[in-house]
Structure 1
Amino acid sequence: MNTIFQKISEELKNSNDLVLVTIVAQSGSSPRGLGAQMLIGSGGRICGTVGGGAVEHHCEEEAVRLLGEKTSGIRHFSLRRGGAEDIGMVCGGDVSAWFQFIDSSVKEWETLSENVLDLLGKRSEGWLAMNKSGAVSALLNKDGELLSGSLDGTFSAPAKREFLETEDAYYLPITVRDRAVIFGGGHCSQALVPFLNRTGFSVTVMDNRPEFAQEELFPEADCIICGDYLKISDYVQLTESDYVVIMTNGHSHDYEVELQVLQNPTAYVGVIGSRSKIAFTQKKLREAGIPEDVINSVHSPIGTPIKAVTPAEIAVSITGEMIYERALLREKNGTTEHGCPMH
């Protein structure tokens, strides 16, 4: 959602009308789940995806048509063979998409996009309410209180944060992105940050070398820190929901960081390195009194075993593993069901 609304904000500043496509209903098997979004301009897709293939192509065509008409609307697509709305896909399900027209001449849209970005920047949760009337959408805080825009009807925030449809609107929960904290700013980190950012992680990078803690090296990171690896808590407070990647510039720094990280639980810890380097670090961790089960919980060697060699390949390997571990954790916590269309 962060990328979507950054683009909305940019396009509105250039007086460009838009259509925001959102999956609002789903049955059976489909490429993307409820809340998947795609932003369309006069030239077609700008960013986001609602599943690719024929459904995305038809959504793009419909969005461009509605853009010309300056109107919003709901459309239904069958992903089954032979149905009345068959679009040539065989996933075996059906999806409905809401096409929200965004009029660049209506300044409330610009205010709304800025407020959404501000909410996301503060790592606060909320709700995006898309009115079925087509009026300017509303931003609500996590308790359902109106922050920006207009709201048709009334809304009481449910205990479970999930997509919700009422008689008047579609409510999309705005969730805080999981934070990935990377220790080390070398080539592998530089390759990794864009992948993590584009797969829903908020990224913080820390390095003890000023030349490797530069904004131009990590334009897609949310936070860049230059600090002492011996005192990481002076710079960043890790929580049990954080994903930690350790890839510093040496065995001793890896150990110093890992020793501190393992003092308290996090969602994920991965450490890059050869097996000999890992054995060296694990030996020192045992000597420092870190329990064996905690040491064994560390993903080391880090990443999915795809025989990655280059920084880009290593970044793909690490990102894949983190996506998988995040999905497992979400299922364990009951926040979402496994929705991969490929398995």
Structure 2
Amino acid sequence: MKAEHAARFREIRDKVENQQRLTLDDGLFLYDPEVPLQEVGQLANLVRERMNGNVGYFNINTHLNPTNVCVYRCRFCAFRSDLRDPKGYLMSDEQILARGQEATENGCTEMHIVGGLHHKQPYEWYRGIIELLHTNYPQIHLKAWTAVEINWFEFQTKKTKQWVLQDMQQAGLGSMPGGGAEIFHPEVRDQLCEHKADTHQWLQIHQTAHEVGLRTNCTMLYGHVEKAYHRIDHLLRLRDLQDKTGGFQVFIPLAFHPENTKLSDLKKPSALMDLRTVAVSRLMLDNVQHIKAYWIMLGIETAQAALAYGADDIDGTVRHELIYHDAGATTPQSLSVDYIKHLISEAGRDPIERDTVYNHVVRDQQDFTRWSSGEPVGASV
């Protein structure tokens, strides 16, 4: 590292060691290729261990994408379909219940539910999915609907964000995923998805969710047309909202997969970029407790390495994931619990199963499918 870079990095290290907040300029510096990735990773690991100890969290979860028919045509999406396209589908109640039964039989604690905005399906159909699953499988935590979907439900019902979120809560909604954030800066967002919920709407919906008692995740889609400035700007906007509400429980950096999208001429981000983004995210988001290395998008090996670069969570078994596999993800469709534990242990971390809102999961020793939520994970760090 050049002398001036080394001096600047020492300043940032001093800030981090003294738990002082990093600035936009600090974040841009950490993205400079001249700054060794290993140094950035070691600094992020310092924060990771200070906040979360030596554990690596995982959960047992399944995905449900009730339809891929969507009114929007986001350039980065390979999942969506037109109504009359042969690949378009709409799941029946019987199919949805079968997925809930399968989840229960496999000991899943969470169902992650997102999909297309089907212009022929009323709001009541979306609400009905939550109610149907919650009524029949009440123990499974339903993490559902991105802010983009909530925004669509506002449009459908002509009701407020708060009304929609509370109505979904009454139906059985447990928390919200962080999808739809993409990149907040309008220079980039307008290129990717100009018609769907904008940055202001996304942030407002998550703020309202936090205010009505819903915990939510937050994300960033990187490795397409954005620059380092846009990534840091995105992280700072998330950090600002977290200062207000404290409602984000985990941040997930999402690596862009270009195959089968309208940006298929781009190269997917390298493993080095993936690890740097995980590390910089850990350093910038000093008020978000957890950073997830989502193995579906990063690949298993990179996600495992990310446990030394700021991440403390590797996601879960992830049955039936479609959105990123449609975009060319070559990772398996699901992983076994034993293999996930092995990955975490091999990385030198202690595997801990958690539920969606980061409580310890206590399994029945005689029957793996029977479980309960214990104390919050932070109590043992």
Q: TM-score, normalised by structure 1?
A: 0.30
More strand per residue: 1
Which of structures 1 and 2 has the larger relative contact order (alpha carbons within 8 angstroms, sep 6+)? 2
Q: Which structure: greater helix fraction?
A: 2
